[in-house]
Amino acid sequence: MAKFDVLVPCYNYGRYLTDCVRSVLDQSIADVRILIIDDASSDSSVKIARGLAESDTRVSVVAHASNKGHIATYNEGIEWAESDYFLLLSADDLLVPGAFERAAGIMDSRPEVGLTYGECLVWRRDTPRPFVEPVQDLRWTKQDVVADMCRTGSDFVATATAITRTSVQKAVGGYRPSLPHSGDLEMWLRFGAHAEVARIEAVQGIYRKHDSAMSNPYLAEMITEYRQRKAAFDSFFETCHDRRQDMPLLQRQVAHSLADQAFDSGISYIRQGRIESGFALLRWAMSLDPGMRYLPPVWRLLRMPGPEGRQRLLSLMGQSKARQRKVLQASAAVPVLGADSDRQS
C-alpha cells in the first residue's frame, strides 16, 4: 500500500488548520505522515497544531521561533519527506475524499509518472462548502505540461491537488528563493521536464478564497504577476535547457503569450482609470514582444477609451504622426469595445 507524506505550512491560519489536517487523516489510504510547520504565527496556530498532534500520532509539528518565509518552509518539508508520495497542502486548503487513492492508482502502476494533479474547487468566503461527489471515477490523461504552460503562459496546476512522487521531487529539488510568487509554476515545469504528468479528471482539492490569502496583495498589480511568471519561465529555460529539443520554440511562445495577456490587462487598467499602471503594462508587453510595436489587431485599438487613449497607444508603439492621424480618422466613428465587461470587472 502506498505511503504519503504531507507538508502543511501554516502562518496565522489556525482557524483553518483542523479542517485541513482532518481532510488528510480521513483519506481512504491511512498510511500517511503529516508535518505541520508553523512559521512564527501570532495567532493560535501552534496550540491548535500541537493539539492535533496529541490526538493522532501521524501528525507532527515544527514551530519556527522566527518567520523564515514560505519558500524556506516549503523546502524544509521537501527535505523531511521520505514516503512514496508527497503533497504540499496549505493550511487553508482541503483534500477531498479519495484524492490519495486516485493518485496512487496511477503512480503505483506507472513509474514514469512523477506528478498528478486534478480539478480544484474554489470555496469563497461566506458561502457553503462546495459539494463534491462522494465517489468519483478514476479517469486521467497524460499531459505535456511544459508545452501547455509555455503556450498559455500560465500555471494551471492547483497546488492543493499536486501529488508528487517523492523520489522525483528530490531529484528536481526545492523551490527557488528568487521566485516567491511563481515558484509553483517553475516547479511544475521542472517536473514536466523530468517525468510524465497525469491530469486526473476529478476534483482532488478545495482552495479557500478569503481576504487574508497570502497572494491577495501581490495580485493587486498585474505587472508584478507577469514579471514573476516570466522569471519562472526564464529560470526553467536556464536550468532545463537540455531536457527538450523544442526549447527555442517554447521560449517564443512564452514571450508572445505573456505579452498578449499583459497588453490586454494594460488596456483594461486604462479603461478602469488606472492610466499609468495600464501604460506600464503596455510598455512591458511591447518590450517582451517587439512585434507588438507594429499595429496590433484593430479590436485592441478600439478598446482604448477615446481618441486621446488611442493616440497615446499609437505613439507608444512608435507609429508615425501621419500613421496615427490615418488610424484615428478611421476609428473615430467606431464605438469603444468592451465597455460593459470592463465596468463589471
pLDDT at 73: 99
User: Among residues 92, 96, 102, 114, which one has the least CA distance to residue 48?
Assistant: 92
The alpha carbon of residue 297 and the mean position of all alpha carbons in its chain are separated, in whole angstroms, by 29
In sign, the C-alpha dihedral spanning 120, 121, 126, 131 is negative
Can you give the residue ranges of every domain in the chain? 4-213, 222-344
Find the angle CA(29)-CA(105)-CA(90) to the nearest 5 degrees: 55
d(CA 187, CA 88): 12
In 240-305, which residue ranges form alpha helices assigned H by DSSP?
A: 247-271, 275-288, 298-302
* Per-run averaged pLDDT (10 residues), the chain, 345 residues: 97 97 97 99 98 99 98 99 99 97 98 98 91 90 98 98 99 98 98 98 94 54 93 98 96 96 87 82 88 59 55 54 47 44 43
**What CATH number labels 4-213?**
3.90.550.10
pLDDT at 276: 83
Write out the three cell numbers for 126.
461566506
pLDDT at 311: 57
Q: Strand runs (DSSP E) across 130-256, as ranges?
A: 140-143, 163-165, 196-209
Question: Whose grid coordinates read 464605438?
Answer: 335
Indicate the DSSP class of residue 293.
G
pLDDT at 278: 84
Residue count of the chain:
345
pLDDT at 328: 44
pLDDT at 244: 96
Q: pTM for this one?
A: 0.86
Q: Which run of H or of E encompasses 21?
A: helix 14-25
Indicate the DSSP class of residue 182.
T
Do 282 and 316 touch, CB atoms closer than 8 A? yes
3-state helix, strand, coil in the chain (%, to 5): 50, 15, 35
d(CA 168, CA 112): 10
pLDDT at 169: 99
Q: Which amino acid appears at position 188 of this protein?
A: W
pLDDT at 126: 84
